[in-house]
């Protein structure tokens, strides 16, 4: 985002060079937060979907693309995030907006590269790497992850080989192709961006795909991705700082799941 927030978000004419889409989309905000420059946030139905409006004026992404989403429900979430801002605009409190910006500015123009990046997880998916001990953890992983593997086999045509510990195992080429096909079949930049976020936050493309396809709820998926952490906490107790970091990541995950559901 440039220093002139009004120009960035409302698309005012400017001689400044167009900002880099990926850098802008990934920006998490600067220490000095921009001041709120609008009174009301809403949305309007238009040719490009439902576009965020600020004081009735159509808003843009940081890369000055129209800030428009495919559904009214998702537009309502965007408007709510913007309306909830105080005297300053805090991107950390706007996870849906940041993901939508990423989808528009970063994912839409480089769809193939995002598919490649996601497909790489097929060979190192979290649910294929199991603990050798203790028995309680082994059982917890099997109870939670085996149904996900069964779903991947039945729904996607992908069967993964399990490995103990961190020893790498080469997955069958057919299974990797099948999982890549499921990624490539993801419609639209918003669902693809959401899939990417859920995958990177959990370390499991299969868990993220299961959410995308309605096989897992966000709560079930988050729990499945943190079987190991839950076990460790039951043994050693919970760390307050670690829990706080986890809560921030959970908010990002929930926002991604929401974007995926409301973009279908």
Asked whether residue 214 is assigned to any structural domain, the reply reads yes
**How many structural domains comprise the chain?**
2
Specify whether 240 is located in the same domain as 137.
yes
Structural domain containing residue 20? 5-93
Q: Is 246 found in the same domain as 121?
A: yes
Q: What's the pLDDT at 32? A: 82
Question: Which pLDDT belongs to residue 264?
Answer: 85
User: Is the domain of 247 the same as that of 129?
Assistant: yes
**What residues contact 238, with CB distance under 8 A and at least 6 apart?**
none
CATH number, domain with residue 35: 3.30.2180.10
- Note whether residue 104 is domain-resident: no
Q: Within this chain, do residues 115 and 88 fall inside the same structural domain, yes or no?
A: no
C-alpha–C-alpha distance, residues 112 and 110, integer Å? 6
Same domain, 80 and 202: no
Using the 3D structure, point to which of 45, 65, 93 is the last residue of a domain: 93
- Shared-domain flag, residues 136 and 34: no
In terms of domains, do 19 and 132 share one?
no
Q: Does residue 9 sit in the same domain as residue 44?
A: yes
Q: Please say which residue of 59, 93, 127 terminates a domain.
A: 93
Report yes or no: 91 and 101 within 8 Å, Cβ to Cβ. Answer: no
- Identify whether 209 is part of a domain: yes
Check residue 155 and give its pLDDT: 98
Residue 172 lies in a domain: yes
Instruction: Compute φ and ψ for 95, nearest 5 degrees.
Output: -65, -35
What are the pLDDT tens digits along the chain (264 aa)? Answer: 333 455 566 654 334 444 444 454 455 444 589 999 999 999 999 888 999 999 999 999 999 999 999 999 999 999 999 999 999 999 999 999 999 999 999 999 999 999 999 999 999 999 999 999 999 999 999 999 999 999 999 999 999 999 998 788 999 999 999 999 999 999 999 999 999 999 999 999 999 999 999 999 999 999 999 999 999 999 988 888 888 999 999 999 999 999 999 998
| Shared-domain flag, residues 54 and 131 | no
Q: What is the CATH number of the domain that holds 216?
A: 1.10.3580.10
Looking at residue 46, its pLDDT comes to 85
Give pLDDT, residue 2.
39
Considering the domain architecture, whether residues 129 and 245 belong to the same structural domain is answered as: yes
- Pairing mode, strands 163-164 and 129-130: parallel
Sign of the torsion formed by the C-alpha atoms of 249, 156, 185 and 44: negative
């Amino acid at each position: 985002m440039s220093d002139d927030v009004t120009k960035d978000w409302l698309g005012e004419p400017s001689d400044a060079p167009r900002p880099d889409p990926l850098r802008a989309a990934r920006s998490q905000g600067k220490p000095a937060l921009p001041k709120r420059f609008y009174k009301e946030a809403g949305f309007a139905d238009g040719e490009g979907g439902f576009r965020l409006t600020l004081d009735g004026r159509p808003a843009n992404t940081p890369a000055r693309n129209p800030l428009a989403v495919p559904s009214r429900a998702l537009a309502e979430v965007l408007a709510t995030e913007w309306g909830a801002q105080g005297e300053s605009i805090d991107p950390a409190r706007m996870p849906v907006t940041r993901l939508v910006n990423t989808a528009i500015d970063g994912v839409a123009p480089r769809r193939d590269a995002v598919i490649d990046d996601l497909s790489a997880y097929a060979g190192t998916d979290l649910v294929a790497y199991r603990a050798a001990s203790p028995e309680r953890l082994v059982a917890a992983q099997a109870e939670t992850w085996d149904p996900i593997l069964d779903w991947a086999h039945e729904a996607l045509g992908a069967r993964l080989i399990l490995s103990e510990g961190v020893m790498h195992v080469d997955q069958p080429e057919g299974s990797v192709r099948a999982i890549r096909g499921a990624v490539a079949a993801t419609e639209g930049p918003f669902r693809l961006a959401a899939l990417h976020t859920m995958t990177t936050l959990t370390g499991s493309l299969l868990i993220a795909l299961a959410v995308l396809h309605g096989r897992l709820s966000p709560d079930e998926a988050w729990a499945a991705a943190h079987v190991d952490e839950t076990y460790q906490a039951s043994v050693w107790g919970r760390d307050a700082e670690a829990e706080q970091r986890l809560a921030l990541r959970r908010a990002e995950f929930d926002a991604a799941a929401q974007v995926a559901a409301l973009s279908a």
